[in-house]
Structure 1
Amino acid sequence: MSDDATSAPQDPDLRMDAATVRRWCSAAVDALGAHRDEIDLLNVFPVPDGDTGTNMLLTLRAMTEALRRERPTDVGSAAAVIARGALLGARGNSGVILSQFVRGMSEVLGELDEDAIRTRPTSLLAESLSRGAQLARKAVSDPVEGTILTVADRAAEGARDAAARATLDMAGIADVATAAAAAASAAVTQTQFQLPALTRAKVVDAGGRGLSIIFDALAAVTGGQPSGGPAWARKAPTTPSDFDEPYAGRHGSDGFAYEVIYLLDAGRTAVATLEESLRSLGDSVVIAEGSATEADANTLTWRIHVHVNDVGAAIEAGIQAGRPHQIEVTRFEDHRDGGLTPLRGVAVVAIAPGDALRSAFLGEGVTVVDSGPARRPSTAEVLAAIEDTHAAHVVVLPNDGDCTAVADAAASEARTFGHDVAVVPTKSVMQGLAAVAVHDAERRFNEDVIAMAEAAAATRFADIAVAAREALTMAGHCHPGDVIGSIENDVVKIGSSVLEVALDLLDRFLATGGELVTVAVSPSAPDELADDLSRDIATRHPEVEVSILAGGHPDHLLLLGVE
């Protein structure tokens, strides 16, 4: 029996439903979190970068967050939600493979209506594991035995054998899950003898170990028996010097310096061509298929993973195939020294919309999480950004009141990974920019956080937008097409001219003092607006310095900040 996953009682009300899917994901997160360090230390294939446990855990957390956000009410919709969450939140080679395993399960579990639950629940569960194993293997360009793929296959076989003799009730489901967990655990033990890199290091496969823990969680929540496989952690982190010959071998990433991952919106034909291009550039090519995009049923969202030396070529290949986004690049050398990446230094993570605003933060060395008009970042995305800094101390700037809760949740999770995280509750990107301007990584962290918080609090902010519909505001009625000026999210001015409303708001601010005015101008604003505003500010307030950022917030014609 696993120490961190205890078997559930045979509750007569226990059944395969959305609640069970939620419990499984939650239990898997808890169990994998408890074993994360162990799995990271096992990580020697395809490269010993010490992050397999972390990547699988982050992928699972993306699934659980998707469930919390979407709140599905039946098992079919719950399965679809976790598949989408896994794809969008997949981290690293192991996370992308896991996302495809989950997608395969979801395709079959989606058939679990009331009739299926009554007549063939055990066979459908077994089929879902088989489909998951198939899609996981299909996602990898050069499948290798002795890896997570082998463990998935053996678990599926164990589940099929058990389903053939299982009762058609929850006890039968528990038996199938128990058989899958036992087969996975046995397969993990054998990986040490199937892959030369593992044999030399005297360890089992990290991804396979992670998957076996996920199967243990499934057995536990369905009322079965987790395998409670042995702990396999090495006494010291794995490094290339542990091996008598190159650690990655023919199928690994010896000689490739970077891991490139991105989401891609593209059609199947284009992705088939992309796969060939990526194979010519590097190895460890994993392509995970997702669902159709909202804009075009023939365009799917894919998760692309490859190890290369030429990062630009890998991204350019994605551009040729479709629309790449959420691009992540990791340099393996940053992970190899000591296996687990030590947390050092101070970093800043900022949530920001608009190209110019993102560029302004990036120019200051800040890690940026994208947001937009109809898109708020998830806790998983902010957590991933914090993790990617590899910093011991991290300041998070939400830059929007609606993002503060997400930033707080990500910070709380990151602290379990050993990061010291402080959220400075900036309500606007203007406050965020002011905070970054005084950031000093050489200062004591607490002092730096205080200085950034004080700079943010001292920055007054406003925004100007065009009304889309009639509404009653604090400044009176507005109608579609009216120009609305808001100070710190309260409407204070309604007018017909963007320039006049902007100058009115700035006059209010500068009447009580100010040295620097920062203006972010939307791409949809009139071409002459920035020049006209700069000229008029100089005339009315010659003592004030003005900074213009072109390409600002997509929702607001202007963002104003006064320090």
Structure 2
Amino acid sequence: MEIQTIDASLLSKMFLSGAKNLESKKEWINELNVFPVPDGDTGTNMTMTIMSAANAVMELQNPDMKTLSKAISSGSLRGARGNSGVILSQLFRGFTKVISSHDEVDIPLLNEAFEKAVQTAYKAVMQPKEGTILTVARAAADKAAEMATKTDNIVEFAEAVIAEAEDTLARTPDMLPVLKQAGVVDSGGQGLVQVLKGAYDALIGKEVDYTTEAVEAPKAKPAISKYAVEFVIESEKPLASYQIKELKAKLEKLASGKVSDLTITETNSDEVVFSSEKEDVKEEAPKFTEPAKEMGFVSIATGDGLTSIFTELGCDYMIPGGQTMNPSTDDILSAVEKVNAKTVFVLPNNKNIILAANQAAAICEDKKIIVIPTKTIPQGITALISFAADASVEDNQAAMTEEISNVKTGQVTYAVRDTVIDDKEIRKDDWMGMGDSGLLSVNADISTAFLEMIDEMVSDDSAVVSIYWGEGSNQDDAQALGDKVLEKYPDLEVEISEGGQAVYAYIVSVE
């Protein structure tokens, strides 16, 4: 089979086929997690990123290359979630920038587009690591350059590029020791390979059902069995919009499907109040009546306790999210829009959200967004505490960035599989203490794992230990652990707070 050019119609089919293939493999990709913790989300993040663009493509009627390129680039940029999703969106951005002004794409143009895609993605990452999605993308681009001198047949070209991408993916464990020790290949690289393989299927004319969980074809919609389940949620106080969204996210984890509408009835008074959060209703941008203040805050966290702590410390708007719930670039932009301030500091509080926040800062036009690169919840709390309302934007940025570097963070969660990390043998259901730079402790007993983690974190300079308890713990257990910490380290101040976070039974900071 020989194909020498690709028009907008075929490219649209190829893109949607790549999206479909990625979506079908997302759970498998989620399981390619270096650490055996219950938070694998690379497949989900990449799928939601590409589906944002796929939705935009599906809405086009007979697109030309320019409109198709815009839909792919803009849709993926705004829908990007997690580091892998942001990198994928940047690959699409660079690729479409090259092809958008052409009616058809041939091999020389494909070669140029592959090269631009890789350049754009590498620029988006401050410290690129080899053995990741970037490495797989660069290998594919290098093979594209080689094949551009050997053939005019796009099918032959594509087969060689995909084979090189797969071969490079298989070698990622040799580039990143943590991958080899965990016995997995890079999950982001696997996601990219699945996009390429799906696009190839459409290129050679393979029949592909473009209907996905996130995208429905405008015609011939498949029959779907729907079930309505009703139950009562008794609320002691009115719920804010972010709390409703967070509750919905928790319910979706328990449901065998998608929660499309959530209705909450408040029953603590004679009146009955209904509040509803529907997917098809977009919250309108607020119309501020007061002059904008100089500085404001948007922060990301999950759990009622943590949300309350951030709010009490002066955060203007909370985005529910964190591990397994990475907000998109568009989510962050929408939150910033709701803050009546000229400059908005964004606290990602998770290393997998920082790139999406940076992307929001680059896109935002009407306000200045400054991302404080907080990688953990304790760093975010420290940043807020370090803020001075009477200081300048620049001084606050410098002070917050400096102070978060002094925070040590530990998190306790359970293992979902047997593995070996940092030469420590881990069994399924063991408790693990995770530090800023890796695994600190492993034990079948949660208290032992917690206390061994604390021993690794505390130093002669330590003064305060803050414990935030969440899913898998309670106030009494947290207090008992705090007492044991004080018993061993009587000179430390120990603070205990309810976090309410999912996934991690305890989040701890040592300062």
TM-score, normalized by length of structure 1?
0.47
Preserved contact between residue 330 and residue 360 of structure 2 (Cα < 8 Å)? yes
Preserved contact between residue 77 and residue 110 of structure 1 (Cα < 8 Å)? no
1:350 maps to amino acid:
S
Give the alignment partner of residue 301 of structure 1, picking from 255, 260, 272.
260
Preserved contact between residue 78 and residue 328 of structure 2 (Cα < 8 Å)? no
Q: Cα–Cα, structure 1 residues 317 and 424, in superposed 2: closer, same or farther, change >3 Å?
A: same
Counterpart CA distance in 2 for 1:268 and 1:327 is: 21
Structure with the greater alpha carbon radius of gyration: 1
Q: Between the two structures, name the one with larger relative contact order (CA 8 Å, sep ≥ 6).
A: 2
Q: Cα–Cα, structure 1 residues 406 and 316, in superposed 2: closer, same or farther, change >3 Å?
A: farther
Deviation (angstroms), 1:481:
2.4
Which residue does the alignment assign to 1:335?
288
Q: Cα–Cα, structure 1 residues 537 and 330, in superposed 2: closer, same or farther, change >3 Å?
A: farther
CA deviations 1:496-518 (Å, max 9, x no partner) are 33223322222333223112111
Q: Cα–Cα, structure 1 residues 373 and 326, in superposed 2: closer, same or farther, change >3 Å?
A: farther
Q: Cα–Cα, structure 1 residues 380 and 440, in superposed 2: closer, same or farther, change >3 Å?
A: same
Counterpart CA distance in 1 for 2:58 and 2:285 is: 35
Map 1:477-556 onto structure 2 (within 5 A): 477-525=425-473, 528-556=476-504
CA deviations 1:129-165 (Å, max 9, x no partner) are xxxxxxxxxxxxxxxxxxxxxxxxxxxxxxxxxxxxx
Map 1:20-419 onto structure 2 (within 5 A): 22=57, 65=79, 77=210, 81=214, 109-111=218-220, 301-302=260-261, 316-318=273-275, 334-335=287-288, 343-366=292-315, 367-414=317-364, 416-417=365-366, 419=367
Counterpart CA distance in 2 for 1:328 and 1:549 is: 34
Q: Cα–Cα, structure 1 residues 532 and 504, in superposed 2: closer, same or farther, change >3 Å?
A: same
1:364 maps to amino acid:
L
| Runs of 5+ consecutive residues of structure 1 not aligned to the other structure | 1-10, 32-56, 83-105, 114-264, 271-292, 305-311
Which residue does the alignment assign to 2:132?
none
CA deviations 1:248-289 (Å, max 9, x no partner) are xxxxxxxxxxxxxxxxx995999xxxxxxxxxxxxxxxxxxx
2:491 maps to amino acid:
E
1:344 maps to amino acid:
K
Preserved contact between residue 523 and residue 550 of structure 1 (Cα < 8 Å)? no
Counterpart CA distance in 2 for 1:298 and 1:503 is: 39
Q: Cα–Cα, structure 1 residues 361 and 12, in superposed 2: closer, same or farther, change >3 Å?
A: closer
Give the alignment partner of residue 453 of structure 1, picking from 401, 408, 420.
401
1:13 maps to amino acid:
D
- Worse overlay, 14-23 or 474-483: 14-23
Deviation (angstroms), 1:538:
2.0
Counterpart CA distance in 1 for 2:509 and 2:339 is: 28
Q: Cα–Cα, structure 1 residues 393 and 329, in superposed 2: closer, same or farther, change >3 Å?
A: same
Q: Cα–Cα, structure 1 residues 512 and 505, in superposed 2: closer, same or farther, change >3 Å?
A: farther
Identity value in percent = 18
CA deviations 1:91-120 (Å, max 9, x no partner) are xxxxxxxxxxxxxxx65x34499xxxxxxx
Preserved contact between residue 76 and residue 112 of structure 1 (Cα < 8 Å)? no
Preserved contact between residue 298 and residue 344 of structure 2 (Cα < 8 Å)? yes
Give the alignment partner of residue 15 of structure 1, picking from 9, 31, 39.
9
Q: Cα–Cα, structure 1 residues 473 and 298, in superposed 2: closer, same or farther, change >3 Å?
A: closer
Preserved contact between residue 61 and residue 380 of structure 1 (Cα < 8 Å)? no
Preserved contact between residue 418 and residue 426 of structure 2 (Cα < 8 Å)? yes
Q: Cα–Cα, structure 1 residues 480 and 514, in superposed 2: closer, same or farther, change >3 Å?
A: same
- What is the root-mean-square deviation in Å for CA atoms of aligned residues? 4.5
Which residue does the alignment assign to 2:44?
none
Preserved contact between residue 471 and residue 504 of structure 2 (Cα < 8 Å)? no
1:376 maps to amino acid:
N
CA deviations 1:288-335 (Å, max 9, x no partner) are xxxxx797689762599xxxxxxx99993136xxx7799998796x43
Q: Cα–Cα, structure 1 residues 488 and 382, in superposed 2: closer, same or farther, change >3 Å?
A: same
CA deviations 1:199-254 (Å, max 9, x no partner) are xxxxxxxxxxxxxxxxxxxxxxxxxxxxxxxxxxxxxxxxxxxxxxxxxxxxxxxx
Counterpart CA distance in 2 for 1:269 and 1:529 is: 34
Counterpart CA distance in 1 for 2:230 and 2:363 is: 39
Counterpart CA distance in 2 for 1:559 and 1:269 is: 34
Deviation (angstroms), 1:484:
1.2
Counterpart CA distance in 1 for 2:229 and 2:305 is: 33
Preserved contact between residue 260 and residue 279 of structure 2 (Cα < 8 Å)? no
Deviation (angstroms), 1:79:
9.2
Counterpart CA distance in 1 for 2:302 and 2:230 is: 32
TM-score, normalized by length of structure 2?
0.51
Preserved contact between residue 471 and residue 503 of structure 2 (Cα < 8 Å)? no
Q: Cα–Cα, structure 1 residues 313 and 498, in superposed 2: closer, same or farther, change >3 Å?
A: same
Preserved contact between residue 383 and residue 410 of structure 1 (Cα < 8 Å)? yes
Counterpart CA distance in 2 for 1:501 and 1:375 is: 26
Counterpart CA distance in 2 for 1:522 and 1:65 is: 29
Counterpart CA distance in 2 for 1:399 and 1:426 is: 5
Counterpart CA distance in 2 for 1:328 and 1:443 is: 36
Preserved contact between residue 479 and residue 496 of structure 2 (Cα < 8 Å)? no
Preserved contact between residue 266 and residue 301 of structure 1 (Cα < 8 Å)? no
Which residue does the alignment assign to 1:280?
none
2:8 maps to amino acid:
L
1:386 maps to amino acid:
V
